Structure 1
Amino acid sequence: MENNSELKPEEDTCGCGCSCGCSDPSAETSSGKAFRKYIPGVLSAFLLMTGIVVDHWGSSFFFTDPVRWLWYLAAYLPVGWPVLKEAVEEIRKNDFFNEFTLMGIATLGAFAIGQYPEAVGVMLFYAVGEHFQDAAVDKAKRNIKVLLDIRPDSATVIREGKHLQVAPETVAVGERILVKAGEKVPLDGILLSPKSSFNTAALTGESKPRTVRRQEKVLAGMVNLDHVVEIEVKEIYANSSLAKILELVQHATSRKAKTELLIRRFAKIYTPIVFFLALGIALLPFFLVEDYAFKTWLYRALVFLVISCPCALVISIPLGYFGGIGAASKHGVLFKGANYLDRMTQLNTVVMDKTGTLTKGVFKVQEIVSATYDKEELIGFVAALENHSNHPIAKAITSYPQENKRIYDVEEVKEISGFGLKGKVDGKQLLVGNEKLMQKEGVDYDTSIRSIVDSIVLIAIDRHYAGYITIADEEKEDAADAIRELRKLGIRQIMVLSGDKQSITGKLATRLGIDQAHGDLLPEEKVAYLEELKTVPRNVVAFVGDGINDSPSLAISDIGIAMGGVGSDAAIEVADVIIQTDQPSKIATAVRIAKATRRIVLQNICLAFTIKALVLLLGAMGYATMWEAVFADVGVALLAILNAVRILHKKF
């Protein structure tokens, strides 16, 4: 009962050549095909039930061989022929020991010794199990495939004053597109219209609409809710958030968990062992039992073969992990592979960045203090330089209202990660950053600023201290809840590592109940802290961040968790888990989903091994028939599948 289907984002989701879910004649054709696949099973079941009734209450004169044999053969072939064909194909690939071969040998052997109803019953229930498995896999995929339904089919681009319908892949950066109310945004860009509301549920899992204002970012996959808006494209389709999410989803199931890999390796060894054990059950009693009857011991061996089929393990365990990935995506969390679900269950130490992770990363200028320059002139110089940076603090400074904006000549700009910016503005050498930058460049400054709690941007012009700007950030609404939930889940150590001031970092950590807080850190200093944590063997460390400077920390941690909404491309690329909603509380959600997935997988392993071991023993002793064997194989597989899909309905 092996499922070879893969999740393929490029395939249609409604069977109509598009991904809109529309009602199309071809969609009805697809439904017809889906119905037709049940016909062999229905026919087989009808013939089997009729045969059993006639066997017990009908005319024995009519229902004797060869009529009886032909009747059950007709019942067997609709469900048995596909399995036998698959067995032959596998044998041609030098894979003799597989479930198809086991089922084929067992049922053909049952036919050979006259156990016709049992042979048909085994194959029929096997086919039923296949259909249940397909339905379960489809349901597990549905939560992930919802992302595929948000692929835009076209973009309305403005070219030479005309509105043209084109493929999103053909739109260039800098072009303007129109998005009507109810339409999906086809590409990442900046809103040029005053404002509009967007449904972000497909990207973030959040049903609450988001209001986006002029010059704010709009992502591909969002649905415009209000009116026609104009957007300036900032990324080609291949680099859009939507395209990257789809790529992550496509490859998520290819990274197997250790348990899944172990079970697959186990099945490769286990299957030939049980085959030879079954052979031994059929032949060895000839040398050990006085009244040896080949037909009796062959039947026991065939029962043993059916019971031993590793379907429940090989199917339900990958399905359990697949369901976990699907459930996570439904809640706005993307796991890049099943292996990270497993790793998340062992998590006991969480290290977080501050800005953009625990705080909103939306800074506002609070105060401008100038030592020698006019404040308006000073902010103009600084804003001109900061315009060349994407840092949240830089955006706060550039968005600060200026009375007399003018164009400055800016050149030789250099961003020094963890320090700040340097460059020339109208021929003046500017340094804009933290105390470390001033110390590095040998600039004397007013050290009394250390008593200020807010974030401070120091300014030096031509290597002379010129003043400072204070910036304030705000913690996220669910930051405190995130810490409380992590504590409940048994995370014993929570730490904040930030490039922001120690006073600000410490104040936030105290307010949220975080164990340790370290500020004024460069990216390499964050890595050093993580390396120290990892020297303790029992520590399984997750780092949560969003900026490009967090990439080294995300890469070195056991589990890298990136804030996908505001996070940089580099952070998202290197992370193992992506939180699309930018909510730190989703870290706890990810842990709960991982633990629930792990519980389901272990339940399935215990269920399969316990029942199979019991019925195998009974079969070898002659106390189990083919019908018990069917339950031990297909029945246990169905129970395991139903248990695996439970995770898709759980609330986290």
Structure 2
Amino acid sequence: MSDVHTETEQGHCCGSAHCHTQEESSSNNIYLPAIISFALLIIGLALDYYELPFFKDYIRLIWFLGAYIPVGLPVLKASWSSIRAGEFFTEFFLMSIATLGAFALGEYPEGVTVMLFYTIGELFQDVAVTKARGNIKALLDVRPKEAFVYRDSKYISANPEQVGIGERIQVRVGEKIPLDGILLSNNASLNTAALTGESKPDRMAKGDHVYAGSINLEGVIEVEVTKIFKDSSIARILELVQNATARKSKTELFIRKFAKVYTPIVVYLAIGITVLPYFFVSDYVFGDWLYRALIFLVISCPCALVISIPLGYFGGLGAASKHGILFKGASFLDTISKVNAVVMDKTGTLTQGVFQIKTIKTFQIEEHEFMSYVMAIETKSTHPIAKAILDYKIEQVQEAVDVKEIAGQGLSGTVHGTPVLVGNAKLMQAHNIQIPSETQVIVETVVFVAINAQFSGYIVIADALKEDAKDAITKLHEAGIRDIVMLSGDKESITQQVASELNIKTAKGGLLPEDKLNEVENMKQNPKYKVAFVGDGINDAPVLATSDVGIAMGGLGSDVAIETADVIIQTDQPSKIAQAIKIGRSTRAIVWQNIVLAFGIKIVVLILGAGGLATMWEAVFADVGVALLAILNAVRLQHMHWD
């Protein structure tokens, strides 16, 4: 957790003076100095207003120095540390020169106010960063801290990192599962909201995979560990989230480089404003022009940009993680906002990737009796189609004998002395059994059944669409994505049928992984396309890596997805694709709003300051005021909805 805290403070605090001097500082350390400084400033201004005789010269200077030091000292220290590190021209240097210059000119309240407002700006920023970080902290908090492992004939408490593969752990009601494993108990109800963003409990059965960080909702359960802690899905995701903010966007990197060039230019211009008028202005007064230069320095401070831009991206990363979408870095928030073409795998992305019975048609036999014969034969098979058939609910499966597998055709066997054939059209033809013509137009997999040498019916097996598959395509269209392509290794007829159901105009079936890669590469050669590819992260790894943005579905259980994809949709819901694009667009919009806001106001006030038409108070607004507005604008990301 400290890693994220440090990264947040250093990477998203405009390099604030308080962060600079103490990496693990908290907002509590800033409140007290700000309160002291504010109280002394108000009293000092009141004493100035009433022109009390004792409040002059050194007494006045000492009083305002007392107000300046609590908020100014951290900035002065940060400036000195930066200079010693070889970074002379920083925002700390600008603030220090401007405020010390104000004191040199006797403008004590202005000098204090600049530093006080800067500190107040940090307080707002600290609140904003804490809010933005809250969603990621919630994810980090799912890290389990204890495991009850079965050793020496009893369950004992152990650190999850000390539990090995194959060991048995016990999880009580309300506790988090500490490690990935296989459920040994008959069933379980798990809350995976912290991992996937979905609040609906998941019902699990014996043998199902369960993941660390899930909360056990009902009864005591037992789990056999399949991964050590550092290899568990939650540990990998936590590492991903902690590193996400380190991957800067091009906009962030540009602003940082810009600030390094911009700051020295500002300093030299301030020197020019002070010195050059001596040669051109007849009534030149050094103090007046120095005051203008100091105003110029305060206005020029790039804090609004250096604070708000990383904060905007950080807010986007936090908002996305709240919705079960993990971006591997701010750069991908930028890229996904420009996506105008989405290429999707079919199986496992738009469909469930699991065969299910779609239709059962019988002839001269009841469905229940028909299925009892079929299931008796299929219990001897390990084929995925057999698994789908065996999901049919029946009280008792009959016993089959002499079951034989006929390569490329199906199965034959005997149930209670009755010969049964279960397989494809070739199997029926080989036994001279006529199949109805109506089945010829069915594009899905059809299982034909003959009982006692008579055709008795057929079963249609299909890979069912995900619940939100249609909604996903609709939302992509609403988001302005006009080019949606579906690619599949499944046969062409099934691919086209699924595409028709989902209103996808371009679809291609019968593709190998390298064929999908070629399709995406061909699209990328067209400069008008910014392509996102969505796959299950297993056999689609090459395409995920090649596309402009690789999006993996159901990344929680897929190591390859976590390694290869740029964006991971933990909930396995394709409707989240449009949501991810919208979050990227919102983040980019807010970042650019802040850039325009900061530059626009600063340029206007800079011109006024150089011409002597702006005071230090306007300078404070142009610096700290704009920074506050930019921070508040960035915070809006935490309250937006992208449904």
Is this a same-fold pair by TM over 0.5?
Answer: yes
Aligned twin of 1:213 = 205
CA contact (8 A) 1:9 1:250 kept: no
Q: SS in structure 1 opposite 2:177? A: coil
The runs of 5 or more residues in structure 1 that have no matched partner are 12-30, 369-373, 387-391, 409-418, 420-433, 435-445, 459-467
Distance 2:251 2:445 in 1: 47
Aligned twin of 1:130 = 122
- 1:555-634 equivalences in 2 (<5 Å): 555-565=545-555, 568-634=558-624
Change (3 A) 1:492 1:314: same
Distance 2:483 2:622 in 1: 45
CA contact (8 A) 1:348 1:539 kept: yes
Aligned twin of 2:531 = 541
Aligned twin of 1:99 = 91
Change (3 A) 1:311 1:457: farther
How far the C-alpha of 1:276 sits from its partner, in A, is 0.4
Aligned twin of 1:155 = 147
Change (3 A) 1:92 1:50: same
Residue 44 (structure 1) aligned with residue 44 (structure 2): no
Residue 503 (structure 1) aligned with residue 493 (structure 2): yes
Q: SS in structure 2 opposite 1:581? A: coil
How far the C-alpha of 1:476 sits from its partner, in A, is 1.0
Change (3 A) 1:208 1:322: same
Residue identity opposite 1:168 in structure 2: P
CA contact (8 A) 1:303 1:619 kept: yes
Residue identity opposite 1:227 in structure 2: G
Aligned twin of 1:250 = 242
Q: SS in structure 2 opposite 1:474? A: strand
Residue 55 (structure 1) aligned with residue 52 (structure 2): no
Q: SS in structure 2 opposite 1:177? A: strand
Distance 2:107 2:7 in 1: 47
Distance 1:172 1:642 in 2: 47
**1:643 equivalent among 633, 636, 639:** 633
CA contact (8 A) 1:334 1:580 kept: yes
Task: Give aligned pairs, total.
Answer: 572
Query: What does the per-residue CA deviation read over 1:425-477, in whole Å, with 9 as the maximum and x for residues that have no partner?
Result: xxxxxxxxx9xxxxxxxxxxx9x99965224799xxxxxxxxx9974211111
Residue identity opposite 1:48 in structure 2: L
Residue 530 (structure 1) aligned with residue 520 (structure 2): yes
How far the C-alpha of 1:139 sits from its partner, in A, is 1.0
Q: SS in structure 2 opposite 1:351? A: strand
Query: What does the per-residue CA deviation read over 1:556-611, in whole Å, with 9 as the maximum and x for residues that have no partner?
Result: 11110001257532123100000011110000111111111011001100100010
Aligned twin of 1:428 = none
Change (3 A) 1:547 1:577: closer
How far the C-alpha of 1:214 sits from its partner, in A, is 1.6
Distance 1:140 1:367 in 2: 49
Residue identity opposite 1:562 in structure 2: A
Residue 7 (structure 1) aligned with residue 14 (structure 2): no
Distance 1:404 1:324 in 2: 58
Change (3 A) 1:217 1:564: same
Aligned twin of 2:251 = 259
Q: SS in structure 2 opposite 1:158? A: strand
Q: SS in structure 2 opposite 1:38? A: helix
Change (3 A) 1:233 1:366: farther
Change (3 A) 1:76 1:614: same
Query: What does the per-residue CA deviation read over 1:51-94, in whole Å, with 9 as the maximum and x for residues that have no partner?
Result: 111111141x2111011111111111111111101100000011
Query: What does the per-residue CA deviation read over 1:362-392, in whole Å, with 9 as the maximum and x for residues that have no partner?
Result: 2236799xxxxx9889857752xx6xxxxx7
Aligned twin of 1:268 = 260
Distance 2:163 2:36 in 1: 54
CA contact (8 A) 1:143 1:330 kept: yes
How far the C-alpha of 1:356 sits from its partner, in A, is 1.3
Residue 241 (structure 1) aligned with residue 238 (structure 2): no
- 1:54-453 equivalences in 2 (<5 Å): 54-59=47-52, 61-364=53-356, 383=382, 396=388, 452-453=442-443
Distance 1:50 1:533 in 2: 68
Aligned twin of 2:477 = 487
Residue identity opposite 1:300 in structure 2: R
CA contact (8 A) 2:27 2:126 kept: no
Distance 2:246 2:95 in 1: 28
Change (3 A) 1:450 1:254: farther
TM-score of the aligned structures, taking structure 1 as reference length: 0.82
**2:504 equivalent among 476, 490, 514:** 514
Residue identity opposite 1:489 in structure 2: A
Distance 2:310 2:468 in 1: 33
Q: SS in structure 2 opposite 1:363? A: strand
Q: Aligned residues: percent identity?
A: 60
CA contact (8 A) 2:377 2:400 kept: no
How far the C-alpha of 1:651 sits from its partner, in A, is 1.3
How far the C-alpha of 1:516 sits from its partner, in A, is 1.0
The answer to which of 542-551 and 561-570 deviates more is 561-570
Q: SS in structure 2 opposite 1:530? A: helix
Change (3 A) 1:256 1:33: closer
Q: SS in structure 2 opposite 1:521? A: coil
Residue 476 (structure 1) aligned with residue 462 (structure 2): no
Change (3 A) 1:457 1:329: farther
How far the C-alpha of 1:492 sits from its partner, in A, is 1.4
How far the C-alpha of 1:159 sits from its partner, in A, is 2.2
Distance 2:550 2:400 in 1: 42
How far the C-alpha of 1:532 sits from its partner, in A, is 1.1
- 1:22-33 equivalences in 2 (<5 Å): none
Distance 1:69 1:9 in 2: 37
Distance 2:605 2:398 in 1: 84
Residue identity opposite 1:335 in structure 2: F
The runs of 5 or more residues in structure 2 that have no matched partner are 9-23, 361-372, 409-423, 425-434, 449-457
How far the C-alpha of 1:142 sits from its partner, in A, is 0.6
TM-score of the aligned structures, taking structure 2 as reference length: 0.84
Residue identity opposite 1:505 in structure 2: T
For the aligned residue pairs, the C-alpha RMSD in angstroms reads 3.0
Distance 1:567 1:400 in 2: 27
Change (3 A) 1:64 1:515: same
Distance 2:318 2:463 in 1: 34
Distance 2:42 2:3 in 1: 35
How far the C-alpha of 1:33 sits from its partner, in A, is 7.1
The answer to which of 237-246 and 313-322 deviates more is 237-246
CA contact (8 A) 1:455 1:500 kept: no
Query: What does the per-residue CA deviation read over 1:152-175, in whole Å, with 9 as the maximum and x for residues that have no partner?
Result: 111111124211111111222222
Query: What does the per-residue CA deviation read over 1:135-189, in whole Å, with 9 as the maximum and x for residues that have no partner?
Result: 1111111111101111111111112421111111122222211111100011111
Distance 1:394 1:135 in 2: 57
